[in-house]
Amino acid sequence: MIIDIHGHYTTAPKALEIWRNRQIAGITNPAEMPKASELRISDDELRESIESNQLRLMRERGLDLTIFSPRASFMAHHIGDFQVSSTWAAICNELCYRVSRLFPDHFAPAAMLPQSPDADPATCIPELVKCVEEYGNVAINLNPDPSGGHWKSPPLSDRHWYPIYEKMVEHDIPAMIHVSTSCNPCFHTTGAHYLNADTTAFMQCLTSDLFKDFPTLRFIIPHGGGAVPYHWGRFRGLAQEMKKPLLKDHLLNNVFFDTCVYHQPGIDLLTRVIPVDNILFASEMIGAVRGIDPETGHHYDDTKRYIEAARIDPEHRHRIYEANARHVYPRLDAALKAKGR
C-alpha cells in the first residue's frame, strides 16, 4: 500500500471560495456575514471535484490512500477573529470528512484548527475533539504562526501550546506543522513562508526540551523539512554546541519528514541524510507546484517517481510508502486493520 500523508482539498467546489469571500466581507460589514447553513455543496459536487482531480491522479500514479486536510493556504488564521476562524474551520473540516465518507478506501481526514492570533490555543480543543471522535480524523494541522507571516506566537516549545499537545497525546494523533498564507510581503507563501516555517519549527524543537514533557508527541515537518536535510551538519553541530543529545536521540523519536521535494537530487539527499524511519511518503498533489518539469516531462508533484528512482532498497521503500505512516498515524493504522488492509 502507498499512503500519501500530505493531501489538501485544493479542488473544492467554487461555492466554498464564494462563501469564504462573503465571510471576509462580513468582518467589516456584519450585514454581509453569511451563515454556515447558506453554503450548500451536494455529494455529487464533491464526487466530481475528487474523481476528476485527486482520485484520478492517485490512480494514475499508483497511490492508494491520502491523508486529506483542508487547503493550507485557505486556513488564513490571520483573517478575522476566533469566531470567524472557528466557523471556517468547521466548514472545511466537514467537507474533508464528507469526502472521506464518499471515498472511504482512498481518503482519511485530518483537521485544521480554528486558530486565531492572540487566542488561547485551548479554544481549538472542541473542534479537535469533534474531528477525532465524530469524524474519525487521524491527525491535525498545527499552524505555528497564526499571524500570517509576522510570527507573533510563542515558539512551539512554549507552554502556550500545551493544551493542544495534551489532547494530541490523549487521542494519540500527530500534527503536521503547517503554516498558512503569508500576509507579509517579505515572504512568498509557498516559496518562502512554508519552507521558512519548516526550518523554524525544527529549530524550535532542537533548542527545547519539549519532548521530555511529551515523549510520545509526534510532529511531521512537511516539504522535506525545509532547509533541515540540506543543512543537517549545521543542526547537528548546533545541538552539540548547546550540549543537547545527538539529534538521533534528541528529536528523531518525535519528528518526521515528508517527501514533498520536487526534484530527484532533493529526494536523493533526503533519503541519504534522514534515517529511513523518519521519512513518510507525501506529494501535496495539486498543491503549490502543479506544473510539468520540462527537464523530465513529468509533473513536479509526482513524488512516487523520485522514490522509485532513489537508490534505496525495497524494504526502505516499504517503510517510506506505508510502514512509517502506520506507526506515526496509529488511528489510521487501526482503521486500516479494521478493514483488513
Which sequence positions are flagged as catalytic?
Answer: 284
Distance of CA 274 to the CA centre of its chain: 19
Question: How would you classify residue 148: left for phi > 0, otherwise alpha for psi between -120 and 50, otherwise beta?
Answer: left
* 330 burial level (CB within 10 Å; 0-12, 13-18, 19+): middle
Three-state secondary-structure class, residue 247: helix
Distance of CA 146 to the CA centre of its chain: 15
Q: Which residues contact 68 (CB under 8 A, 6 or more apart)?
A: 7, 8, 9, 54, 96, 99, 100, 107, 108, 109, 110
The phi and psi torsions of 293 (rounded to 5 degrees) equal -75, 115
Distance CA 157, CA 209 (A): 7
Q: How far apart are CA 97 and CA 75, in angstroms?
A: 16
CB 143 within 8 A of CB 219: no
Residue that the C-alpha cell 500500500 belongs to: 1
Judge whether 229 and 273 are in contact, CB under 8 Å. yes
| Three-state SS annotation for 227-240 | CCCCCHHHHHHHHH
Question: CA torsion angle for 264, 265, 267, 271 (degrees, to 10)?
Answer: 130
CB 177 within 8 A of CB 220: yes
CA distances from residue 29 to 22, 80, 121, 142, 160 in whole angstroms, order as listed: 10, 12, 27, 30, 32
Of residues 106, 114, 18, the one with CA closest to residue 70: 114
DSSP 3-state of 169: helix
